[in-house]
A and B are shown apart, each in its own frame.
Chain A
């Protein structure tokens, strides 16, 4: 089966025009302006995995902050200046430990902690990930180059329109001397979804 994530061809031509028509009608009817749409687009663009990495690196260095983040992510994010929109679904941060590895999916669609780390990667929205990860999480992890010890329990967390999850990856060994800023660079988008691990300092040297 050929899956279409990216828009192209006749469908794209039709739907891009249809979307434009819908926007124009909304503007004519006074429901919103083009400026509202573009401002929102800029606002969405402004969130990226770096924002999440900054927060999670802070949790690595400050255990009290980490406890607050795990207990009530939205309030803890506010401490760092991230005021999530009122319409944003509830966000929960789950910690990966020596015993438990969490990974997030949205089997129904593409729900993702967009309010803090931006738009999801294409594979996250794709049918292969959504179908397979709940059946064979370790197999999927391997495709991301992530191999976990058999003793670690893997938990696949299904997101929804109302609940989103951000994964706090395990802090790699040998990072005790690193600054918060350096640590944030180890936290990748994949590690915040749980399909990857935080980059180890050795890996950064070899890059």
Chain B
């Protein structure tokens, strides 16, 4: 049984969905952050993919593209000891309160 990401040949009868959508600004920033972290030697494409691959099937299939990237980048940054999950949770709370 292949892992969640390994999609070649998975049973799938869905037609190709040709619709495109305008990128949201936060998605554009996540996309760019991925590049910046690459430049700083803090992640490679393989590492990002490995982090995405480690998701369980439900998470993998329910998250949108840049949502997966965000979760994967968090995993890599926490793994490398650059930040902790608690720090991110706390910062998120502060940001949320600031927006209210």
A complexed with B: yes
Given contacts A20-B95, A25-B83, contact A128 B12 (CB under 8 A): yes
* Interface range for A: 35 or more
In the complex, A126 Cα to B20 Cα: how many Å? 11
* Contact status B64-A7, CB under 8 Å: yes
Q: How far is B10's CA from A54's CA once the two chains are assembled, in angstroms? A: 36
Tell whether A100 is near chain B: CB-to-CB under 8 Å: no
Residues in chain A near residue B31, CB distance under 8 A: 41, 44, 119
Is the beta-carbon distance between A16 and B26 smaller than 8 angstroms? yes
Chain B residues 51 to 93 lying within 8 A of chain A, measured CB to CB, are 52-53, 61-67, 70-71, 73-74, 77, 82-83, 87-88, 91-92
In the bound complex, CA of A69 to CA of B5 (Å): 32
Considering the complex, give the chain A residue whose CB is closest to the CB of B88. Answer: A21
Q: How many residues of B contact A (CB 8 A)?
A: 59
Interface assignment of B21: CB less than 8 Å from any CB of chain A:
yes
Question: Is A109 touching B5 in the complex (CB atoms < 8 A)?
Answer: yes
On whether the beta carbons of B61 and A143 are closer than 8 Å, the reply is: no
A-B residue pair count with CB separations less than 8 angstroms = 177
B7, A127: Cβ atoms closer than 8 Å: yes
C-alpha gap A151/B14 in the complex (Å)? 27
Kindly list chain A residues whose C-beta atoms are within 8 Å of the C-beta of B45: 89, 111, 161-162
**Chain B residues within CB distance 8 Å of chain A:** 5-12, 14-21, 23-24, 26-33, 35-40, 42, 44-46, 49, 52-53, 61-67, 70-71, 73-74, 77, 82-83, 87-88, 91-92, 95-96
**Which A residues contact B (CB, under 8 angstroms)?**
1, 3-8, 11-12, 15-26, 29, 31-32, 36-38, 40-41, 43-45, 85, 87, 89, 105, 107-111, 119, 121-123, 125-132, 134-135, 140, 143-144, 158, 161-162
Q: List 17 A-B contacts (CB under 8 A).
A: A6-B64, A7-B27, A7-B67, A12-B67, A17-B92, A21-B88, A44-B35, A85-B39, A108-B5, A109-B49, A122-B17, A122-B21, A123-B16, A130-B8, A131-B9, A132-B12, A134-B9
Query: What are the 5 closest A-B residue pairs judged by CB atoms, nearest first?
Result: A107-B8, A161-B45, A131-B12, A41-B32, A21-B91
